[in-house]
A and B are shown apart, each in its own frame.
Chain A
């Protein structure tokens, strides 16, 4: 039972330094589980899925899961990608990537044969990845948050050489 005090001292909380979770009177027979229950500012949400929670019938959960899968199938965010000098364009589904890094790697792979260049950022090889947004403007890929990018990107173009140099993003 003494271990509970040490546990409290090393436990992570979200409160600002100096704030205290008010003590609640607990009966003597508390177990370790109580401390979790008493923690006021719920510990950072780990989003680990607890079995059977939230309490939804399997039937309903399955429906939600199927609906999500169908939605994902139907709304793949396919955009055309062209590269200066390449004889044909490609199409990528922006929905399958989690961020710019993955996207850049995939594009590198895709256009390797057209000598896109190094695995690192586009600046080194003199190429810049740009995209046309909803307003019809050509923007440099990487400036805005990923979610905003995938919702506004209409198509992409890999620009090369002199034009690209002027567009290298400041990091």
Chain B
């Protein structure tokens, strides 16, 4: 670039580094790196935080080479639908390749956050050994490790600040893993062990947190009995975020008042979660801190509507509420009246298969919240009935939605009053909510809703579709519109080859596409793979019958398809049920 060298040299590198440090998003840094060679060089040497949205999009060694000064890395593995058992368990997402490369090239790594990856105990041991200044380990929805691996982390990471284990499957083979924290260890700020199934040695835990003056977040698992919670809280009155253990016990007035005062003693408490097996008996013990709460997760508590209302109406400053549908419409109406600062609401089903008594949680609850909570921008709502009218009202009340996920639990459910598809309702959402970044659809939907989404959802980054649409046009509307689409996941929709092939180029602008139980054929996948060398086209066929995939004809239907852009080429760790087409 003529003149590029001259003006970049106007300032020393350190000045440009300082300037780049103000760039908030990786995308901005990426853009700066493309301006000229000097900026590329300066930017890559000064980037210390890296986010890899798809662990197979780049070779670990290449990432480590490009950014030699990284201190914090976040990596995601399996596709989102793995959460719902749609991805074979041996699909991949193993963390070894990354951890080995990072151990080699980033010895100063301080933070590692992994999501939906298979993390072995060997990985944890490598992390514990190789990163001398390791501070933050966050594992979300991971599997493959055990408490023995955690023991290695505890024993070796002298400067550990955060151990955040969120919804992982952890094998419990080392009961005393927490005893491996040395007596001199006192740096914990966050300890989240809520997902551990096994017993926790509460005395060891008490001593551990007692010597960590900076502990702000403590999330216990369900094995910690309520009686012991009192002792724990006395040691950490500075707590900001508490996840209780089991929140039930025989009624004892003495225990109640001890618990009440222990919780009241935590004057900085802003977030509460846990509440396993919570009943009405001990719930009032937390009333004193309700006013200060900004986040409340009751989604594992089978409390009934009236108890929930009594509790939540005291939480005037609540910003985030996660709750079971046992709250019912009446409860949500009370929330709408009390929690004017509410930003995020998630309502989970207490009975996903509908075997029990029907719950009175309907579209009315959602409408009430949308009307009463002006700051609401993120919703996850499981229910059994919906109307277009309700969705139109919600759209009108909440033009600021960034995330709208509605799950009507029975597939193909129409508007229960008009019997029409819910096209009009969801269209209103995307047309009104101009900042919508994430959307999940449900109910009876035709291609019309996709036309609206394609045309209006300009900020949409992630779209989840299930049991919807009439045919190819639906998928075509999405792929030819939605200019900021990054992740698209589809299941059980009648979408076929044509929209994929017609919009092949679009797939390179996205992180990934998942399609399962649709109408895609092997022939189209082959064509796509040939046409787009920067995509990995993974065909997943779990039912091993007949010929191997290479010999199957073009019209062979594809069960599951996962397409993602990558500069790493086909991966080498595919299991037998996955074929990467070239």
Contacts and interface: CB of A to CB of B under 8 A. Distances in A.
Contacts of B473: 27
Interface string B107-126: 00000000000000000000
A30 B84 CA distance: 28
A152 interface: no
Contact of A57 (B83, B409, B446): B83
B352 A64 contact: yes
Interface in B350-386: 350-354, 382
A87 interface: no
Given A53-B466, A64-B352, 10 more contacts: A24-B470, A27-B447, A27-B470, A33-B519, A34-B471, A37-B494, A42-B414, A54-B407, A55-B407, A56-B348
Interface string B392-435: 00000000000000010111111000010100000000000000
Interface stretch (A5-13, A44-52, A92-100, A107-115): A44-52
B300 interface: yes
B354 A47 contact: yes
Q: How large is the interface on B (under 10, 10 to 19, 20 to 34, 35 or more residues)?
A: 35 or more
A58 B494 contact: no
Interface in A15-60: 24, 26-27, 29-31, 33-34, 36-42, 45, 47, 49-60
> At the interface, is chain B mostly helix, strand, loop or mixed?
loop
Given A29-B472, A30-B494, A33-B494, A57 B411 contact: no
A37 B167 contact: no
Contact of A29 (B351, B382, B498): B498
A46 B444 CA distance: 17
A54 B496 contact: no
Given A52-B85, A56-B349, A42 B410 contact: yes
A61 interface: yes
A51 B559 CA distance: 13
> At the interface, is chain A mostly helix, strand, loop or mixed?
loop
A170 interface: no
A162 interface: no
B98 interface: no
B419 A41 contact: yes
A55 B84 contact: yes
B536 interface: no
Contacts of A57: 83-84, 141, 167
Contacts of A61: 352
Interface in B321-370: 348-354
10 contacts: A29-B472, A34-B494, A37-B468, A37-B493, A41-B414, A49-B353, A51-B85, A53-B84, A55-B464, A56-B352
A55 B466 contact: yes
A26 to B, nearest CB: 5
Contacts of B440: 55
Contacts of A75: none
Contacts of A29: 471-472, 496, 498
B176 to A, nearest CB: 25
Contacts of B85: 51-52, 58
B579 interface: no
B419 to A, nearest CB: 6
Q: What 7 pairs between A and B have smallest CB-CB spacing?
A: A52-B84, A33-B494, A59-B167, A27-B471, A52-B86, A57-B83, A54-B409
Contacts of B141: 57, 59
B407 A31 contact: no
A77 to B, nearest CB: 16
